[in-house]
């Protein structure tokens, strides 16, 4: 599709092409979710780490947190909101268990300010992105 649009625009005058390029350059940036630290290591006997989730976008985000090993890991929150340019803690608790590499997946979706149920966008299949955090137990 982009190639077809470019070919069509190549027949137009150069000022229009420059204007089109400058408009597309300033289009809405891709949203993201940053998590620090981006990897976590635990003793096999267990422990707790609190990470920081940061929403650098101009939009409010709903989040859903999943683990690959629900027997050894607990997370708080499982669902929640992060306001525009806001931060929220992510508590990860490892229970005693055999050493193993696992992961946490934090899914996110843009939501309006009026949204009160953080589960709703995920029930509606509105996920827009995810961040994967490797977990290591030694």
Q: What is the pLDDT of residues 94-103, one digit of tens each?
A: 999 999 999 9
Residue 28: per-residue pLDDT: 39
Share of the chain above pLDDT 90, in %: 77
- The domains located in the chain, with CATH, are 32-135 (2.60.40.10)
3-state secondary structure the chain: CHHHHHHHHHCCCHHHHHHHHHHHHCCCCCCCCEEECCCEEECCCCEEEEEEEECCCCCEEEEEEEECCCCCEEEECCEEEECCCCEEEEEEEECCCCCCEEEEEEEEEEECCCCCCCCHHHHCCCCCEEEEEEEEEC
Is the pLDDT confidence value at 91 over 80?
yes
Q: What is the mean pLDDT of residues 97-121?
A: 96
pTM: 0.76
Residue 32: per-residue pLDDT: 84
């Amino acid at each position: 599709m982009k190639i077809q649009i470019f070919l069509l625009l190549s027949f137009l005058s150069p000022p229009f092409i420059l204007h089109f390029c400058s408009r597309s350059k300033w289009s809405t940036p891709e949203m993201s979710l940053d998590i620090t630290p981006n990897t976590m290591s635990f003793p096999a006997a267990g422990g707790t780490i609190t990470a920081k989730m940061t929403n650098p976008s101009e939009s409010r985000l709903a989040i859903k947190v999943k683990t690959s090993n629900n027997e050894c890991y607990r997370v708080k929150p499982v669902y929640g909101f992060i306001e525009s340019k806001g931060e929220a803690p992510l508590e990860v608790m490892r229970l005693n268990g055999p050493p193993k590499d696992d992961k946490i997946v934090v899914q996110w979706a843009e939501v309006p300010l009026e949204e009160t149920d953080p589960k709703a966008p995920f029930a509606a299949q509105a996920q827009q992105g995810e961040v994967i955090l490797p977990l290591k137990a030694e």
